[in-house]
Structure 1
Amino acid sequence: MPSLILSRGTPEPTWEIVDHQEISAVPIYYGDSEFEIISVSLQVVSRTYTFNAPSASSTSSRPVPPLLPPKPHQSATSSPRRRSTLIRSSFLPCPFRRASSTSNQSSEDEASSHELPSDYATSMPSSSPSDTDGEEKHISIRDAVIFARQQLLTSSDFKRVGGNVFYTEGWSVTRLRKGNQHRLQVRYFGRPAHVAFLIASPSIPSSQPPFIEMLQGSWY
């Protein structure tokens, strides 16, 4: 009697953690500013944002531009770098879509995709190839954390508890890989505080994420 041989397909690759860095929530000091802290929330608000790099299949389907002679400051072997696509979010106009979020608030904003405002301070990739002088740029890990901080600071959950600055804040960065696909997950968290300004025409005190200097390079 012939035996029946069952063949199993190739298992799907899973996401593997390449690197993980985390900074616990630390108190924020804004210096001798003309404001006073009115209240500090007991709740910790957090959100997670996912950056997905373009896959090799998506880039190979694009038409190949004709080869041009290298510029004087470039070598003949230099090649364009890939551009990051979307992270996921929903609060400010941005080119990203939120993958997941966690918060002490029960309601969630509907995820949607928007364009980045022209006055956005962080140097994020442009959607126009002409803006990069023919070369596509990688998103740095530092820019991704700064972006996540800005999104959380202006989120509805943050404002719902009356916050306009961070009292404590921290972040975590996880780099993942599945085959030739790359992903970056940034979680930002902190305790909101409300401050009152003692001068006319006040401006919100700004600061960088804590220990942002330890992040170097791009994430794919």
Structure 2
Amino acid sequence: MRLLIINILLLFSTQVWSQTDLGIGLVSIDFDDKTILKFYSDTSATEPKKVVEFFDDRSINSWNINDLDKQKEWLKPEVLWLDYFAFTFRCLNKTDRWFQIIVNNETEKTYWLKKTDSTKFKNWEEYLKDMFGVERLSSYPQKIMTEPIENSKEIEYQGTDCFVVKSMKGDWIEIMTPDYCDEIFTDSKTPIKSGWIKWRKGEELIINYFTTS
């Protein structure tokens, strides 16, 4: 039941944003109770448009954001899951000192965020390889192929999708079935050692990913 609830939450965070520009990668925030994030309209601005401040919320035994309900009116990032230290934005551009990030995946509103020790950039390959698991979208059915080309041989697969990402080649990701999938899903009868599916179609994300079990 715990896994199901977590998956529902994470499905929401990935599927809802599937139409948003994928950008060049993602920026994750390594936050604590002293973290203050300032969002600027452009790199020449002297005053931030928005400010997010974290604090130690003893009532929930976790870090939290001041005025979170109000902040959520404009703040709809790729992932916002403070209990699991997950606070991630899609990144459109980066310079030596700045990231241009999508702060609202519904409206595609962007701001600029200064690079600090707490901002960690990963391209999509690095990010997806760090995920607990990925699965194909039911709304975008696709076969598992032996090679990252359309007319390669199909790999027959039965059971619930539960894969990790080994590598990426353009619009394709190489997947495999980790051992822990057998413990979670008893119907995974045909483990994949190496197969390929598409993770994107243009700027559309066509897989779900899960940050944790």
Bin for the TM-score computed over the shorter chain = under 0.3
More strand by share: 2
Q: Larger Rg: 1 or 2?
A: 1
Task: Name which structure has the greater RCO, CA cutoff 8 Å, separation 6+.
Answer: 1
